[in-house]
Structure 1
């Protein structure tokens, strides 16, 4: 995977409301002021387990090339001590290079196939 790739998780039902728009904003954008993202597939799985552990519906991950994002991407330290990419503004369509399913196996999330 390219070093500029970051990931944003999104429930399928919510993504479908944004799929034909020129940008995406998550439900918590107004409260947070940025879009949460992760870097690396291993960390993606750990974050998915933590945030969506009890989630039983379909989950997607937006594969984002941060170099194509017109909105600034800043790496900031979280409570767990790790640096996470945060997108300060809308996630524009040109930065989303793929949309993939997240799969749950034995109670743990991992990245799955492309839906495109």
Structure 2
């Protein structure tokens, strides 16, 4: 599996996590009992399906290697394997954080993602 995974969340929630040193998840993560992530290939569809018309988002590239056994790859949308973190995310695992702007129709514009470098 890829070592770089991505999380989309409200900017304010990520700033709170940075202050605390860890990210416990957004509402859906807390309800499901794990933090939802996507691969580079899955992120644009995740953004479109779950974050359209949601202002002030960020996308966080995360190095999955230090997450260890708490990171599980589980079948989800369309039978694809998605990374799910059963625990908190140390913000030190973030490789970078970028704002996620909306296009004219309210869909998030995901930047080009290179799964190998996280850039």
Task: Give 1:83 deviation, angstroms.
Answer: 1.0
Q: Which runs of 4+ in 1 moved over 6 A?
A: none
1:3-47 deviations in Å (ceiling 9; x for gaps): 31000111112222222122101233332110000001x421111
* SS of alignment partner, residue 69 of structure 1: helix
1:24-74 deviations in Å (ceiling 9; x for gaps): 01233332110000001x42111111001121x111011100002256111
1:66-105 deviations in Å (ceiling 9; x for gaps): 0022561111011422111001100012211111111222
Structure whose residues are more often strand by fraction? 1
Q: Is it true that 1:82 corresponds to 2:80 in the alignment? A: yes
Larger RCO (alpha carbons 8 Å, 6+ apart): 2
Q: TM-score, normalised by structure 2?
A: 0.79
Count of aligned residue pairs for this structure pair: 109
For the residues of structure 2 that align with 1:32 and 1:8, how far apart are their CA atoms? 15
Structure 1: segments with no counterpart, 5+ residues: none
Structure 2: segments with no counterpart, 5+ residues: 113-119
